[in-house]
Amino acid sequence: MTTSIDKATAQAVATEIQEAISAILAKHNLQESKTVWKYGEWFEMKVEAIAVERGLNGVNLASKEAMYYTKFGWTAYDENYNASELTAPLGTIFPMKGQNYAFAGIDPKKRKFPIYARRISDGVMVGITENMIPTINLHAQMASK
């Protein structure tokens, strides 16, 4: 007879573990970046955490996205190979769809939404398109004046 873990049980276990993990990471100045869990014959959970170093407007300067931008920068190319370089500093606030966001870094693996931003109102991280580069750069220039 084969026994396995059903989805409801796995969800309950993951939720309980998640609460404990969040508290432990916060105690050590770490932030969860990704959690994946699987169920079936056994329950498996993988947690990735990153250090927290708050910069301008609450942006985590120790995140993978912030470190990538700091090391390599970012240049987008349109269909005619015209370059659009992102020059704004991390933490630059810019508006989008009626809300304010802080530029938080780059995730080069996300082809459609490589630019990461932190929504100011609730701190949620979102990916946005490269079309926002001129807006982000403009608000960086306006903030520096």
CA R_g for the chain? 19
Tokens of 26: 């916060």
Q: Mind spelling out the 3-state secondary structure of 66-106? A: HHHHHHHCEEEECCCCCEEEECCCCCCEEEECCEEEEEEEE
One domain, residues 34 and 79? no
Residues 67 and 46 in one domain: no
In the DSSP assignment, the letter for residue 122 is T
Task: Kindly state whether residue 131 falls inside one of the protein's structural domains.
Answer: yes
Are 74 and 42 contained in the same domain?
Answer: no
Going from the first residue of the chain to its last (145 residues), give the mean pLDDT of each consecutive group of 10, the final group possibly shorter: 84 93 90 88 92 86 93 91 93 95 95 95 92 94 82
- Within a domain: residue 1? no
pLDDT score for 15: 93
The pLDDT, as a whole number, for residue 58 is 84
pLDDT score at 41? 92
Q: How far apart are CA 106 and CA 74, in angstroms?
A: 8
Tell me what pLDDT residue 87 has.
95
- Residue where a domain stops, chosen among 18, 35, 51: 51
